[in-house]
Structures are given as structure tokens and as C-alpha cells.
Structure 1
Amino acid sequence: MNEILPLMKGAAARTTEVVRAVGDDQLGLPTPCSDFDVKALLNHLEWVASLFESVAAGGPFVPPKQDYTGDFPERVERMLAVYERPEAWEGVSEAMGGLPRPVLANMALTDLVAHGWDLSRATGLDYEVDDETAATLVAFCAQMAPMGRERGAFGPEVRVPDDAPALDRFLGIIGRDPAWKP
């Protein structure tokens, strides 16, 4: 198995904790991901889990879904189950423009951590990211930033000090302000 899988499992567990703690009264709150309020971000996370489940299994691109269903924990478990298979790490995904499948796993990790953090900031819930995961994301996103910005996945870089914690540097690379508050 790829060394990213344990990081994905940890991020999925932490993000799932936040998702489960979000109250109905918080669904309309703004998030650091300016395109989404909390409900739309939860819907986006559900779609992300289904998308990466499909492409990791060699399936098609799954278009974004329109309605929030509240089943992120189940979707992310299905996604992780696909990544347990060795073939999920081999070859490229035609559905994702020929990107190598390990790159897709890193993209899934990026989404899980970024949006878990987004939800935690919006709702005031705790969200911890271990140093290994944060450092992995800094390295990956620093390489992917030009393409991420070109495709609209990352915003303009937010400058953070070079000696800032790895999580803050990751957030800055993808266009989040680590000091964001509602």
C-alpha cells in the first residue's frame, strides 16, 4: 500500500468527527472556502468522496451532486475501501485527464484536510492535523499549486511566514488565510 493511505485514513477520521458535530443551526454559516457555506461545503465533501472512490477504482468522473444528503461518513469509508486495493495506486486515471493515481490520492488527502479545516473554522470545532500529514501536503501542494490555481481548485496564495507551522503553510499555498474567522 502507498504511504499516503494512513494519512488519508487519519484525515478522513478527523474530518468525519467534524462533519458529525456540525449542527443544523450551523448549515448556513460562511466558511473560509468562499464559494460554500457549511451546508454546501458538506455537500462538496460528499461529492469529493464519491469522485475519488470512482476514479481510484478506474471509474468515470462523477459530476458534482446537487443536494446535501448527510452521508459523508459512509461515502468516505467507501472511498477508503477502494484505496485499500493495490490497483488504486497503479497507472493513471483517464477520467481525471491522465493524472497518476497516486496524485489523485494526494488530491483526496488535500480535500479532506482543507475542507475539514474549513468546517472547523466555520463552526468553531477543533481540528488537528498531525505534522506528517501537514508536511506531506505542503510538499504536494507546492508542486501542484500552478495547476491547482489554473483549474480553480486553489485560490491565490496567502503569504505566511516561512517558519509558520506546516498546516498554516499548506493553507497559505492553497489560498486559505490560516487566521480566517467568521
Structure 2
Amino acid sequence: MSEHAALIAPAAAEFAGILRGIGETDLSARTPCAEYDVRALLNHLLYWGPWLEAAGRKTSPPEVATGEAEAGLVGADWLDAVEKQTARLVDVFGAPEAWQGMTALGTAEMPASIVGDMVLGEFVLHGWDLARAVGRSVDVAPEAAEAVLASAAAMGDQARAMKVYGEEVVVSDGATTFERALGTTGRNPDWVR
């Protein structure tokens, strides 16, 4: 799906705007991801970002000494760290070649296009999670919403089995494409903090 490469930079720009609206007092706010507050969700992004980048570059994954929960990556400079990581992911996955062929995410071999769609989903879905946590809205381009929905539907059963997605949330008949994508990933489009 190398045509999705063009969706990365606009999604990342929206994501970065959401990040800049998060204040110190927001870090303990709950998010639509039941197991994460804002700090834990930012930690999740900082932990997995290098893995996604390595998969896009088709290089070895980073060596890590701890698991995600123990990593403690959200320090005083968290905004700078996430913005730099976002820029690196845009640099890698904004290029069509990152989406071609096979790659590995850790020890799992998979089509590179799946990893690219994961990155797009990180920006769009976790962008929404963070925006909702701090009482803001998010602007998702129709093409990005369609790509995220297609990806979520394709890997939904496996993602739910791996506890990456929650149980599917039924949305109304008149739901937008993005609301359907949220529901497919176990998010309630009507979630409020």
C-alpha cells in the first residue's frame, strides 16, 4: 500500500499539533485506551517508535533492557522526544519504498505495508486518544480514515487476540468512516473524559 505513504506527513502534522496542546497537568488524564493515562500512552509511543522506524528501514530492532511499562521514557523533554521520533517516522514512511517488500517487527516477519499502516494508525488513532484525553477534537482526512479502517478491519481478529485492540464497538448506521475505524479498534467514538 505504498500509496498510503502520502498520508503519513499530514497525519503526523495533525498528531504533532495535538501533542503541543498537552500540558504537564494533562499527563495523568485518562485516555480512551483503558490501560493508559496520557503519560503511559506517550511512553507507549516512545517505546515502540524505534521498533517501527527500524522495521521501515529494514534494520535490526533496538536493544532494550526493559519492557514498555518499566521504560519510563516520559521525562521533562517528552514533547521534543516525541516530535523528533515523529519526524523520523515521517522521513521513513513518507517514502514509498518503506512500504515495499517484507520486513521484521522484532522477530515477526511481515509485509512492510502492514508496518506502514501501523504507523499511520499510531498517528491517527493515538492522536484521537490523546486529543480526547485533553478535551480536544482531531481532524482526520477522509483518505486516512479509509486507510485506517481498512487496516483495522484486516487485522482486527488478530489484534483483538493479541490484546492490541479491544472488543469491537458497534457504531450507528450513520457513523463516519473514522467512527467506524474507531469502533473496529475497540474505541467508542462517543468517549468523553
Normalised by the length of structure 2, the TM-score is: 0.87
- Whether the 8 Å contact between 2:2 and 2:100 is mirrored in structure 1 is no
Deviation at 1:93, TM superposition (A): 1.6
Deviation at 1:84, TM superposition (A): 4.2
1:67 alignment counterpart = 73
1:33 alignment counterpart = 33
Deviation at 1:152, TM superposition (A): 1.5
- Relative to structure 1, is the Cα distance of residues 98 and 44 closer, same or farther in structure 2, using a 3 angstrom cutoff? same
Q: Separation in 1 of the partners of 2:159 and 2:121?
A: 11
Secondary structure of 1:98 counterpart: strand
Alignment of 1:123 onto 2:134: yes
1:53-80 CA-to-partner distances (Å, cap 9, x unmatched) read 1111112344544321411111011112
Q: Structure 2: which 5+ runs fail to align?
A: none
1:11-69 CA-to-partner distances (Å, cap 9, x unmatched) read 11111111111000111000001111011111212233322111111123445443214
Q: Separation in 2 of the partners of 1:34 and 1:25?
A: 19
Q: Separation in 1 of the partners of 2:16 and 2:43?
A: 13
Deviation at 1:125, TM superposition (A): 1.9
- Whether the 8 Å contact between 1:48 and 1:108 is mirrored in structure 2 is no
> How many residues are treated as equivalent by the alignment?
182
Normalised by the length of structure 1, the TM-score is: 0.92
2:190 alignment counterpart = 179
Alignment of 1:83 onto 2:89: no
- Relative to structure 1, is the Cα distance of residues 168 and 84 closer, same or farther in structure 2, using a 3 angstrom cutoff? closer
Q: What percent identity do the matched residue pairs reach?
A: 33
Give the residue type in structure 2 aligned to 1:111: E
1:160 alignment counterpart = 171
1:94 alignment counterpart = 104
Give the residue type in structure 2 aligned to 1:176: R
- Relative to structure 1, is the Cα distance of residues 90 and 8 closer, same or farther in structure 2, using a 3 angstrom cutoff? same
1:84-107 CA-to-partner distances (Å, cap 9, x unmatched) read 445422221233511100111001
Q: Structure 1: which 5+ runs fail to align?
A: none
Secondary structure of 2:11 counterpart: helix
Q: Separation in 2 of the partners of 1:68 and 1:60?
A: 24
RMSD: 1.7
Secondary structure of 1:3 counterpart: helix
- Relative to structure 1, is the Cα distance of residues 136 and 86 closer, same or farther in structure 2, using a 3 angstrom cutoff? closer
Q: Separation in 2 of the partners of 1:33 and 1:118?
A: 7
